[in-house]
A and B are shown apart, each in its own frame.
Chain A
Amino acid sequence: MKYLICFCISFFLAIGYVNAQTTYTVSGKVVDSTGSPLAGVIVRTSDGAIGSATDGDGLFKLQVPKGEYTIIISFFGYKEQQKVIQVNNNIMLAITMEEDLEMADEIVITGKAPDENVTNTKMGATELTVEEIKTLPALFGEVDIVKNIQTLPGVQVAGDGNTGLYVRGGGADQNLILVDEAPVYNASHLFGIFSIFNADAVQSAELYKAGIPSQYGGRLSSLLDIRLRTGGANKKKFSARGGIGVIASRLTVEGTFDKGKGSYIFSGRRSYADLFLLLSSNPETRKNKLYFYDLNGKMTYQFNKNNSLSVSSYYGKDVFKFGGLFGMGWGNFTFTANWNHIFTDKIFLNTIYTHSEYRFNLGIGGTDDPQAFDFKTGITENSIKQDYQYVPNIRHAFHFGWSVSQREYNSGNFVPASSNSIFEATQIPKYHSLEGALFASNKQKLSEKLTLDYGLRLNMFNNVGTGTVNHYDGHPVTGTKIDSTVYGQGDIINTFWGLEPRIAARYILDDQASVKLGFNRNYQYIHQISNSLSPVPFDVWVPSNDYFKPEAVNQYSVGYFRNLKDNTYETSVEGYYKTYTNSIDYIDNANLLLNPQIETQVYTGKAWSYGAEFFLKKKKGRLTGWVSYTLSWSYKKIDGINNGEKYFAGYDRRHNLNVIASYKISERVTFGGQFVFGTGRPMGLPNGGYQIDYFWLGTYPERNSYRLPSYHRLDLSITIDSRKKEGRKWEGSWSFSIYNVYGFAHINPWTVIAQTNKDTGNKEYVAIYFPAPIPSVTYNFKF
């Protein structure tokens, strides 16, 4: 494989040699006043022809021809700087940004140049700023990155108040969610009402719906790259911020040490609905628990100008307990260590180790209950990645490296929980896998107008022992198990590999418009066993094997991007077409829990989706916001499902409209609004009924043939900042919001149930929906 990398590098360099001209490197590092590196800072020439953004260590590099330049350094929340430089050899700059106290400095979702949406080669990426999120209405007052991402074009939601992401016709398990490079396997609290991301702890989030960089892989539909904040991003050695809301509160402390060489940040959040239960007069109610918490921490240290290290971690848990008879808990733990090394002014290296765990546990019954049991599932991953960046000249920017991941999948451990239990301990066989990848890419500027971004990712996946493979006389669903093969520890059970080309081209039409084309192929070797629209905490993951073949997608996309009025307005139209192979779906009445023969519940086949996305965004002025509209279709066609006929995927929605607005009424008062409209999702609903014995059953037509009513709601908010006073060391703000303002007159069912009323015996269709309207108030502070 080493030879392949060498070949790729040589090939790219050869192309670079042909196009090279006499240029010099302007490189450097951008830090804040405490010395902490700043990521996402835009460094560009004044004419905008040459530019770049700093990486996670604050480093940037420009290749410019000989001459005099005005370099502009800009970053949201900091004062813009200009430096005039004479370039006649390589130059290294050290830039310290000064905080702009007039601007907020909390969440920044992607840092980009004002016209970067036009000039870069990315498709399916959208910029959001802190102000737009902070002042928007938030469910229960909890600012939630994932909920904001759901308003972007091409992203569908499962239902009211749910944080699941369905990107361009992909399933909820097809999103690679990374927190500081560590994957997160369940990104929701409270069954999806909130995401696990505490807004105070997050520095940036970027969603890729297409053109996922070649250094990332393993999922079909999207990459959600979330970076935790680096501490000390202000002038103080110590500072704190937090918020008190109706459902949860937050506190973050941060600072620097060793003269700014090191930084730290620790952030925590806890919900407290259960604390109110303690006020109940019912002793059983007082035993109930329902809360979540999460903790984030990150430390960085700059050893010298060429070496820095950052370590970060997330730990979060949901606890759900009814009396002493029913308890459920789940949560993630991630850890990242990232060593950044600068070899020369042209080559950087990030060496990254990540660890990720997801655990679910369920306990039912008391200590003397014969039906008491405990049930656990989970997945553990350890990964190492080396990611090199090489920028030889103005026309090339290379990325190359390798990664390897080891996983253990616990599909179910069931143990009796009382001495007189009727149950026997059962362990569904654990799975193990190794996944490796080699990747290389190059962003190549062919001319002033045309830039290519092309890359290749070679992946290899081994399903390894210990393990047991069942064999059937025919398809597992219809056949009979005839025997099985047992594999020892480390034995290779299956080997899969694939090549993933990632290609994008951008052609500048004029200084405000461009067209882009893209193609990418992605493979996915791990599969979430979930037969519901909203992933539940006990959904398990399995590796690709004889029966769960690797899923793959080819995506073709095209886009037209135009900015207006000095980049005040961003507009874009994007179209995509995706074809999936080995798409998974489940048989009718599938039994997925604690099933050691899970392959007997599954068919695989093809799927496809296509659509058009329209986006208009206003970035400047008192009124800011965006309008996104998506027109899309998502189909599946799988032998054995729906009589082999095509059917809508459960997350198919024809129309999806989001109107987001933030209006600054005065220096202290900002009004926010959000209107959402979406076609109802498809689902199964009986169109006939019959009696068997004492119960009434339904006859169902084709899969997902009924469509829920259209979904729409309006949310409003108002944020009032505290008065600024000379010498005051703290700042505060009140946020009042109402979720689904007219919800009292219109319901948005996230599902409809056909049932026999147990009291009246009547047959009825019952809508289940989120209560509305939901008012909330949050007080935020920092000092």
Chain B
Amino acid sequence: MKNIFILLSTLVLFSCQKVIDIHPATGDVKVIIQAYLYTDSVAHVVVTKSTDYLSTTPPPSLSSATVTLTDDHGNSEVLTWNASRQRFESSVMKGIVDETYTLKVDLEGKSYSATSTLLYLDQVDSITVVKEAKTTFNDEGYYMKLYGTIPTNVDKYYLFKGYSAGKFLNGPNDIVYADNTMISGKLDGIDMGYKCDSLAIAKLEIYSLTLGANKFYSSAELQLNNDGGFFSTPPANVPSMFNNGAVGLFQCSDVQVLTTYVDLQ
């Protein structure tokens, strides 16, 4: 459906686009938290603050925060600052399927927290890369296809990231996410939208998401691909998974990595 809005937004044959010089009044500075915890991996957390929308430099990571990870068995760890990676990391606690975690960030006298569960990811079979001719929407090239079966008896949410020859394929406005509603369960070569290099390794990372994380990503995708509300849903703030006014994502995911070598020329 996203494509429809993009087509409408550009009014196909009739519209023009132009970068304009406007500067809306800067809003309140918000605490931004992005936290990730994957199966069998340590947690890593980046704490920043929002900045001007047109800022050309990323806001600095804040090392002054205190970040605490707790599971629902009472285990807890204060994450340590990794200066070289500009983020907080756990050293002991790693992601475990079906565990529920709470992340707390204390910064400048305020406390922000989020809770998320690391959900099991049903493994799919494989990816392939096939050569396709030019179409209205795609150039000629090598495109990644996904095969396998996913459950349909319970709601499931997924995030995808594609790579080719070590290069990240998601563009700055491309969030590839899915759920299993209206799906038969059999994935018989669905097009992931990733154009790959030939004679190179193609890789697909699949992440399980909670409903909350899915809402974050789907809302972010709406915001990144909106037309200001003329035809599409009006852009709006992405729903935060953290409380107390912080904006952020606490993504706990089970992960599957699929690779294939593209031997086509």
A interface residue numbers (CB < 8 A to B): 158-159, 161, 191, 193, 273, 284, 287-288, 290, 320, 322-323, 325-326, 328, 362, 364, 369-371, 414, 416, 420-424, 426, 531-534, 536, 538, 586, 588-594, 650, 683-701, 703, 706, 747, 749-758, 761-771
Number of A-B contacts (CB under 8 A): 249
The 6 nearest A-B residue pairs measured at CB: A751-B228, A588-B236, A323-B136, A687-B27, A689-B53, A589-B219
Q: How far is the CB of B184 from chain A (nearest CB, A)?
A: 5
A362 to B234 CA separation, bound complex (whole angstroms): 22
Check A684 against B235 for contact (C-beta < 8 Å). Answer: yes
Say yes or no: is B224 at the interface (Cβ < 8 Å to chain A): yes
Cβ contact of B173, chosen from A414, A592, A755, A767, cutoff 8 A: A755
- B residues near A414, Cβ cutoff 8 Å: 182
Q: How far is the CB of B220 from chain A (nearest CB, A)?
A: 6
Check B32 against A273 for contact (C-beta < 8 Å). Answer: no
A771 to B173 CA separation, bound complex (whole angstroms): 26
A756 to B135 CA separation, bound complex (whole angstroms): 26
- B residues near A690, Cβ cutoff 8 Å: 30, 32, 48-51, 59, 247
Q: How far is the CB of B167 from chain A (nearest CB, A)?
A: 12
Instruction: Give the nearest-CB partner of B25 in chain A.
Output: A687
Q: How far is the CB of A173 from chain B (nearest CB, A)?
A: 15
A278 to B89 CA separation, bound complex (whole angstroms): 60
Task: List residues of B (186-205) whose CB comes within 8 Å of A's CBs.
Answer: 186-191
Check A764 against B135 for contact (C-beta < 8 Å). Answer: no
Given A699-B247, A768-B9, A770-B16, the answer on whether A689 and B50 have CB atoms closer than 8 Å is yes
Taking A589-B222, A747-B16, A766-B19 as given, write out 16 further A-B residue pairs in contact, using a Cβ cutoff of 8 Å, ordered by the A residue number.
A325-B136, A370-B187, A420-B188, A533-B230, A588-B236, A589-B223, A589-B233, A691-B58, A693-B34, A693-B249, A695-B220, A758-B173, A765-B21, A766-B20, A768-B11, A770-B11
- B residues near A586, Cβ cutoff 8 Å: 233
Q: What are some 7 contacts across the A-B interface (CB < 8 A)? A: A370-B190, A426-B182, A538-B4, A689-B51, A699-B30, A770-B14, A770-B16
Say yes or no: is B231 at the interface (Cβ < 8 Å to chain A): yes
A604 to B136 CA separation, bound complex (whole angstroms): 42
Say yes or no: is B68 at the interface (Cβ < 8 Å to chain A): no
Check A326 against B182 for contact (C-beta < 8 Å). Answer: no
Instruction: Give the nearest-CB partner of A282 in chain B.
Output: B134
Say yes or no: is B175 at the interface (Cβ < 8 Å to chain A): yes
- B residues near A771, Cβ cutoff 8 Å: 14-16
Cβ contact of A593, chosen from B1, B48, B51, B168, cutoff 8 A: B1
Say yes or no: is B153 at the interface (Cβ < 8 Å to chain A): no
A193 to B186 CA separation, bound complex (whole angstroms): 41
Q: How far is the CB of B121 from chain A (nearest CB, A)?
A: 18
- A residues near B230, Cβ cutoff 8 Å: 158-159, 532-534, 750-751, 768
Check A684 against B234 for contact (C-beta < 8 Å). Answer: yes
Given A370-B188, A684-B235, A764-B19, the answer on whether A695 and B173 have CB atoms closer than 8 Å is yes
Say yes or no: is B54 at the interface (Cβ < 8 Å to chain A): yes
- B residues near A768, Cβ cutoff 8 Å: 9-11, 15-17, 227-228, 230
Per-position binary interface string of chain B over residues 222-265, scored 1 when its CB falls under 8 Å from any chain A CB and 0 otherwise? 11101111111111111100000001110000000000000000
Instruction: Give the nearest-CB partner of B27 in chain A.
Output: A687
- B residues near A591, Cβ cutoff 8 Å: 218
Q: How far is the CB of A366 from chain B (nearest CB, A)?
A: 9
Check B234 against A767 for contact (C-beta < 8 Å). Answer: no
Q: How far is the CB of A416 from chain B (nearest CB, A)?
A: 8
- A residues near B28, Cβ cutoff 8 Å: 688, 699
Q: How far is the CB of A692 from chain B (nearest CB, A)?
A: 5
Cβ contact of B234, chosen from A531, A687, A757, cutoff 8 A: A531
Check A686 against B24 for contact (C-beta < 8 Å). Answer: yes
Given A532-B229, A532-B232, the answer on whether A769 and B30 have CB atoms closer than 8 Å is no
Q: How far is the CB of A589 from chain B (nearest CB, A)?
A: 4
A763 to B51 CA separation, bound complex (whole angstroms): 12
- A residues near B15, Cβ cutoff 8 Å: 768-771
A696 to B219 CA separation, bound complex (whole angstroms): 13
- B residues near A424, Cβ cutoff 8 Å: 152, 182-184
Check B136 against A288 for contact (C-beta < 8 Å). Answer: yes
- A residues near B175, Cβ cutoff 8 Å: 695
Cβ contact of A534, chosen from B21, B172, B231, B239, cutoff 8 A: B231
- B residues near A533, Cβ cutoff 8 Å: 229-231
- A residues near B13, Cβ cutoff 8 Å: 273, 290
Q: How far is the CB of A158 from chain B (nearest CB, A)?
A: 7
A762 to B183 CA separation, bound complex (whole angstroms): 37
- A residues near B172, Cβ cutoff 8 Å: 694-696, 756-758, 761
A693 to B213 CA separation, bound complex (whole angstroms): 13
Check B52 against A689 for contact (C-beta < 8 Å). Answer: yes
- A residues near B34, Cβ cutoff 8 Å: 691-693
Check A421 against B182 for contact (C-beta < 8 Å). Answer: no
Find the residue from A532, A757, A758 having the highest chain B CB count within 10 A.
Answer: A532
- A residues near B168, Cβ cutoff 8 Å: 694
Say yes or no: is B55 at the interface (Cβ < 8 Å to chain A): yes
Check B14 against A193 for contact (C-beta < 8 Å). Answer: yes
Check A687 against B24 for contact (C-beta < 8 Å). Answer: yes
